[in-house]
Amino acid sequence: MIKPFVTITSVALAAAAVAGCAGQPTIENTYRSSYDPSLLSYAASKGGMKTEILGAPFPTGERTQLERAVTNRLEQAAPGPRMAFFTEAPADYTSPYRVVLLFDPAPGQPLHDLCNRPDLKSQPGDGPVKVTAAFCSSDRAITRVAGSVGNVQSADDPAFQNLIGQIAHGLFPTNNIDQNNGAGDFEM
C-alpha cells in the first residue's frame, strides 16, 4: 500500500519541476536536523551570517551583482531578528554559523556534505537555475534546501529573487520541528 504522503509528495514534486521550467521558483527538497529558530538570534548577536556562494548561474562578470542580490534577499526574507548576510566576514567574526549556496551543482556530488566540501563543482546548463543551500554550524548542516527556477536572466530577476526568498524560508523555518521530506542523500 502506498502511503498518501508519498503520493501527494510525488505529484507535488512533478508539478514543481514543471513550474520551475516556466519561471516559477520551486523547492524540491528540504531537510532539518536539530534546528531551533533561536540560532538566528545568536547569529545576529555575533554580527550576522557569513554567506558562501559557490558556482555562477549567470555570466562571470556579474559575480558582485550575484553576491549582492543573494545576500540582500536573504536579509529581507530570513525570519527572526534583522541580520546582515555577507560574503566577506569581518576580522572579528567568531560565529560557527554560515550559509552555503551552490548554484547549478554538477551531477553525482554528495550534496549532503555542502558544509564541509568547498570543492563541490558547479555545472551551469541551458535549463533552470538550480541551487542547493545549507545553514551550517561549523561543518555540519542544520538545514538544507534545494530549489530551481527557469527563464531567469540575472540575479535581479524577480523570479530569481523569489527563489532566494523561498530558500531563506527553507533554511530558517519558524519552528523547530525536526523534518526530513527529501532523499537521504539529498541530490537534485
CA angle 147, 133, 100 (to 5 degrees): 155
User: So where are the chain's domains?
Assistant: 4-171
The conformation of residue 55, written as its DSSP 8-state character, comes to S
Strand order in the sheet with 140-149: 26-32, 140-149, 129-137, 97-103, 49-54, 85-86
The predicted pLDDT at position 126 comes to: 84
Q: How confident is the model at residue 4 (pLDDT cuts 50, 70, 90)?
A: very low
Each residue's pLDDT tens digit, 113-141: 899 987 888 998 888 999 999 999 999 99
34 in helix, strand or coil? coil
Tell whether the model's pLDDT for residue 163 goes beyond 60: yes
Cβ density class 83-108: b for 16+ within 10 Å, e for less: bebbeebeeeeebebbbbbbbbbeee
The predicted pLDDT at position 108 comes to: 86
Of 25-34, 84-93, 161-170, give the lowest mean pLDDT range.
25-34
The predicted pLDDT at position 182 comes to: 45
- Best-predicted range by mean pLDDT among 22-36, 52-66, 144-158? 144-158
- For CA atoms 46, 63, 162, 109, the dihedral sign is negative
Strand partners, 143: 32, 135
The predicted pLDDT at position 80 comes to: 87
C-alpha grid cell for residue 103? 548554484
Strand (E) or helix (H) holding 170: helix 158-171
